[in-house]
Amino acid sequence: MIVRTAFVTGASRGIGQACAEALAASGARVVVAARTIDRCEEVAAGIRSKGGQALAVAIDLSSKESIVQAVAQASKNFGHIHILINNAGITKDGLAVRMKTEDWQSVIDTNLSGSFYASQAVMQGMMKERWGRIINITSVVGQMGNAGQANYVAAKAGLIGLTKSLARELSSRNITVNAVAPGFIATDMTAVLSDEFKQRMLTNIPLARFGASEDIAAAVAFLASEGASYITGHVLDVNGGLYM
């Protein structure tokens, strides 16, 4: 059996951690990448304790140099990267009329440019192997918009366009590129929202519950599998019906 290597950004917690654990459970070697190396080590240790193979690496998605170094470190230990999950993201919310230039730029740099540079860093290896999976974690707000998040929404919408363009460029080498668009998922990022806002959001979700990180991880694991080999350029909505 071929053992694939998966590289997951933002894997120190939440959706990224769940994706790393799901991919490890499916038999992949997993590179757990995030800014906080100590937390990455904890996640990697948890995977290894269950019999999986995992490596923790530090990465700053706002820095192309950091991305290249992290991928090189991963490749030195585990060989070519076969599966890339572009999950890492930040928010710096605020109304557009008052948004600071640095708040706009930092979110675009991390959430969109970082995903592009990470994809670029693994492409040649995938092309050489003639097999690859790139999965971008976008968001329901990248499809429907959201007041107070112009920077975040622009980055997530940009990921959808990036997904479709890369899918066309890489398909001849048996590399699929897809996106998963989570709805309202219970994570540290959403925990800070007010109860009033959460309740209002809940009334708009037909399945009448918030999603879990494992819901996203299950979709990612499927798109990374052989069973999804004829799916590319697709955005898979995992949002409980919030956006149809």
The C-alpha atoms of residue 47 and residue 66 are separated, in whole angstroms, by: 24
**Are 222 and 215 in contact, with CB atoms under 8 Å apart?**
no
- CA 109 vs CA 59, 64, 85: distances in Å: 14, 10, 17
Task: Determine the straight-line distance between the first and last CA of the chain, rounded to whole angstroms.
Answer: 38
- CA 90 vs CA 30, 104, 183: distances in Å: 22, 11, 16
- 152 noted as active-site residue: yes
Closest CA relative to residue 187, chosen from 10, 67, 9, 6: 10
3-state helix, strand, coil in the chain (%, to 5): 50, 15, 30
**Are 145 and 153 in contact, with CB atoms under 8 Å apart?**
yes
- CA 2 vs CA 5, 82, 230: distances in Å: 10, 11, 19
Tokens of 240: 């409980």
The amino acid at 191: A
Which positions are annotated as active-site residues? 152
